């Protein structure tokens, strides 16, 4: 449809030139005015002529009428003027033929805007805190971030995926104390992150009990934890060794989840990597006169921009998240020379990003406007807020395992081979969770209910994957001839399918522009619905009319191609059999 809109804009520009004079309106200006009528009986594309009145010095009704009389194109069955709107009705067969031919000739590239060639995008996403569980709260940053990476790669960008691990901070002091008091190496090597979490929950509960039982609300365990972290910052050999072990144990666990999702990162440089890179940025702030002392802490005053102060150093001189983020951004610009740096985190961190983005600007870094924060809504479980300290979490590995097992129970009947059944169950089970999450606008808060996520009825991931598998089955039976869509007289259902296929490039553009993967998820459902209506009403493989049969096979091939591409863009696999 984007191609048709561009062609339509050129036709309108030529008609304006012929009827009203040169230099009044360009095709580029016109394409931004074209819209889709809410009622397709009026037309498939429309130009509201109201905005042209001042430029062309005519009423919208007169403009629409004059343009309707001047424009002719074989892809339109009619061009009509109705109440100031110029409406274009698609001529189904030539339009569908062009769409199918474009998809089949471009293949995996169909839908790509290819506007990112020669540009680099750095994406900071997933980034779990080491020694804590990889739970449902991490699903948003992980799948939104990776989908944005895939979308930008599809557009031609060189993408660098960074897993900015939370591998530094006072929580490691707590964990070191807990391990020294109650930990066992063999138990942790056997149980992995789960055992580290038990220690973390235990010491937090112990600290809470001490604070509640002491009149002064102090906790000796909390003091000990701060002392152990200070030793870590001073590179105490024993604490450094424990910290590195905690990181390795955690990464081993996280990698299993990433493998299920098909995600690989280009960098795992976490917060600790920037420890020696922060002083230079702090000194730059000091030299520029941007640092102020407030109650012993070093801050950048952002009152002029209606934001609270940005804390750079605590009273004791230790750094904070903004200090690390600034140092990381400067390092990444030098390392990758990015054209855009995208940070995918929860919406609660929006102020944090706005603050340190502003500080980067004040520091004179001319790439400050290349920093993009992509926020997303919160996740609760059955209405309860997630909290690692209390253990109220749904682990992703448990969620995926349950989804996979449910699919296996269904799939065993058709796929008795255990290895084949397992492979299909992993693709469909994990896909069900990912699709369920990405079906929502990223800013929407989600109350995660297990039964809803794992439902295989209605507009779900399994439905989309099953539709793709159906197209594979049809093409296998048809014996893919490679022929394009012919000049056969197509039904309304076939033309509607071609129209739905044709809007894919626009959906890709919108998803990239708005940093919104759910645009693709919703498109997948539209495409599946259009194809299944076509499939149920139109004989494909057994169609007796040879021209019509080839046309329907071509539409099926085009659907197969676009559906596979779209599923990939939202981190889902495309099983050929289910």
521-542 pLDDT tens trace = 999 999 999 999 999 999 999 9
Q: How confident is the model at residue 42 (pLDDT cuts 50, 70, 90)?
A: confident
Say yes or no to pLDDT of 386 above 60.
no
Q: How confident is the model at residue 484 (pLDDT cuts 50, 70, 90)?
A: low
The rounded distance, in Å, linking the Cα atoms of 503 and 164 is: 36
**pLDDT value at position 475?**
94
Taking alpha carbons only, the member of 417, 430, 402, 377 closest to residue 575 is 430
**pLDDT value at position 237?**
95
Span 339-344, mean pLDDT?
98
Torsion of CA 355, 357, 363, 364, to 10 degrees: -150
Span 101-123, mean pLDDT?
95
Q: How confident is the model at residue 20 (pLDDT cuts 50, 70, 90)?
A: confident
CA angle 349, 352, 355 (to 5 degrees): 150
Say yes or no to pLDDT of 388 above 60.
no
The rounded distance, in Å, linking the Cα atoms of 307 and 362 is: 14
CA angle 169, 174, 175 (to 5 degrees): 95
Higher-scoring residue by pLDDT: 504, 316: 504
Instruction: Give pLDDT tens digits for 269-289.
Output: 999 999 899 999 999 999 999
Higher-scoring residue by pLDDT: 361, 98: 361
Taking alpha carbons only, the member of 147, 159, 432, 398 closest to residue 256 is 398
**pLDDT value at position 383?**
63
Q: What are the phi and psi torsion angles at 326 (to 5°)?
A: -65, -45
The rounded distance, in Å, linking the Cα atoms of 198 and 187 is: 11
The mean pLDDT of the chain is: 91
The answer as to CATH 3.40.50.300 being correct for domain 120-276+325-385 is no
Conformational region of residue 23, where left means phi above 0, alpha means psi within -120 to 50, and beta covers everything else: left
**pLDDT value at position 489?**
83
Instruction: Give pLDDT tens digits for 180-232.
Output: 999 999 999 999 998 998 999 999 999 999 999 888 888 999 999 999 998 99
The answer to whether the CB of 492 falls within 8 A of the CB of 90 is no
**pLDDT value at position 38?**
86
Judge whether 2-90 and 428-569 match in fold: no
Answer positive or negative: Cα dihedral of 483, 484, 490, 493. positive
The string over 156-166, giving b where at least 16 C-beta atoms fall within 10 Å of a residue's C-beta and e elsewhere, is ebbbbbbbbbb
Share of the chain above pLDDT 90, in %: 70
Say yes or no to pLDDT of 389 above 70.
no
Q: Where are the alpha helices (DSSP H) in 369-417?
A: 396-411
**pLDDT value at position 51?**
84
Q: Residue 375 forms beta bridges with which residues?
A: 345
Q: What are the phi and psi torsion angles at 125 (to 5°)?
A: -150, 170
Say yes or no to pLDDT of 454 above 90.
no
The rounded distance, in Å, linking the Cα atoms of 176 and 194 is: 16
Residue bearing tokens 């998820």 = 521
Taking alpha carbons only, the member of 341, 345, 390 closest to residue 368 is 341
The answer to whether the CB of 227 falls within 8 A of the CB of 173 is yes
Instruction: Give pLDDT tens digits for 368-380.
Output: 999 999 999 988 7
The rounded distance, in Å, linking the Cα atoms of 465 and 427 is: 9
The strand order across the sheet containing 45-48 reads 45-48, 85-90, 76-82
Say yes or no to pLDDT of 387 above 80.
no
Say yes or no to pLDDT of 558 above 80.
yes
Burial class (CB in 10 A: 0-12, 13-18, 19+), 73: middle
The answer as to CATH 3.40.50.1980 being correct for domain 2-90 is no
Instruction: Give pLDDT tens digits for 165-175.
Output: 999 888 899 99
Burial class (CB in 10 A: 0-12, 13-18, 19+), 359: buried
The answer to whether the CB of 155 falls within 8 A of the CB of 507 is no
CA angle 109, 112, 117 (to 5 degrees): 100
Say yes or no to pLDDT of 338 above 70.
yes
Torsion of CA 511, 454, 470, 3, to 10 degrees: -10
Span 107-124, mean pLDDT?
96
CA distances, 526 to each of 7, 316, 522 (Å):
25, 57, 6
Residue bearing tokens 């194109």 = 73
The answer to whether the CB of 468 falls within 8 A of the CB of 532 is no
**pLDDT value at position 384?**
59
Q: Which fold has domain 428-569?
A: Isoleucyl-tRNA Synthetase; Domain 1 (1.10.730)
Instruction: Return the DSSP state at 272.
Output: G
3-class state of residue 343 by DSSP: strand
Domain ranges of the chain: 2-90, 120-276+325-385, 428-569
């Amino acid at each position: 449809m984007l191609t048709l809109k561009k062609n339509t804009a050129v036709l309108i520009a030529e008609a304006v030139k012929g009827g009203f004079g040169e230099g009044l309106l360009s095709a580029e200006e016109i394409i931004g005015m074209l819209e889709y009528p809410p009622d397709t009986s009026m037309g498939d594309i429309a130009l509201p002529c109201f905005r042209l009145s001042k430029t062309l010095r005519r009423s919208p009704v007169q403009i629409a009428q004059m343009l309707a009389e001047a424009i002719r194109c074989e892809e339109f069955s009619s061009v009509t003027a109705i109440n100031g709107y110029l409406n274009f009705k698609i001529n189904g067969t030539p339009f569908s033929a062009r769409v199918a031919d474009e998809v089949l000739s471009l293949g995996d590239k169909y839908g790509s805007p290819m506007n990112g060639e020669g540009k680099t995008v750095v994406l900071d996403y997933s980034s779990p805190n080491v020694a804590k569980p990889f739970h449902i709260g991490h699903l948003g940053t992980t799948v939104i971030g990776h989908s944005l990476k895939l979308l930008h790669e599809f557009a031609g960008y060189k993408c660098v995926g960074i897993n900015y691990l939370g591998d530094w901070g006072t929580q490691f002091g707590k964990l070191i104390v807990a391990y020294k008091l109650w930990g066992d190496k063999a138990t942790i090597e056997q149980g992995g992150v789960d055992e580290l979490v038990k220690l973390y929950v235990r010491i937090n509960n112990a600290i809470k009990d001490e604070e509640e039982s002491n009149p002064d609300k102090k906790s000796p365990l909390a003091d000990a934890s701060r002392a152990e972290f200070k030793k870590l910052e001073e590179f105490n050999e024993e604490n450094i060794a424990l910290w590195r072990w905690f990181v390795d144990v955690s990464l081993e666990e996280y990698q299993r989840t990433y493998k299920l999702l098909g995600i690989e990162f280009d960098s795992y440089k976490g917060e600790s990597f920037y420890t020696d890179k922060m002083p230079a940025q702090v000194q730059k702030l000091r030299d520029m006169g941007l640092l102020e002392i407030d109650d012993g802490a070093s801050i950048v005053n952002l009152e002029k921009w209606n934001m609270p102060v940005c804390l750079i150093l605590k009273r004791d001189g230790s750094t904070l998240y903004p200090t690390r983020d600034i140092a990381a951004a400067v390092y990444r610009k030098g390392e990758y020379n990015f054209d855009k740096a995208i940070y995918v985190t929860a919406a609660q961190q929006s102020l944090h990003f706005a603050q340190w983005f502003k500080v980067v600007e004040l520091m004179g870094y001319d790439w400050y406007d290349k920093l993009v924060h992509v926020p997303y809504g919160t996740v609760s479980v059955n209405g309860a807020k997630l909290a690692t300290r209390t253990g109220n979490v749904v682990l992703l590995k448990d969620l995926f395992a349950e989804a996979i097992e449910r699919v296996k129970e269904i799939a065993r009947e058709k796929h008795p081979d255990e290895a084949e059944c397992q492979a299909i169950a992993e693709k469909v089970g994990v896909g069900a969770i990912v699709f369920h999450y990405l079906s929502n606008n990223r800013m929407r808060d989600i109350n995660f209910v297990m039964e809803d996520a794992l439902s295989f009825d209605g507009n779900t991931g399994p439905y989309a994957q099953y539709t793709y598998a159906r197209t594979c089955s049809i093409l296998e039976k048809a014996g893919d001839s490679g022929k394009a869509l012919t000049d056969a007289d197509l039904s309304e259902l076939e033309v509607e399918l071609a129209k739905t296929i044709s809007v894919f490039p626009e959906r890709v553009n919108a998803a990239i522009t708005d940093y919104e993967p759910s645009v693709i998820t919703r498109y997948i459902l539209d495409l599946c619905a259009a194809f299944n209506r076509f499939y149920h009403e139109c004989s494909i493989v057994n169609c007796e009319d040879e021209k019509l049969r080839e046309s329907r096979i071509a539409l099926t091939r085009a659907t197969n191609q676009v559906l596979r591409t779209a599923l990939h863009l939202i981190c889902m696999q495309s099983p050929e059999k289910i």
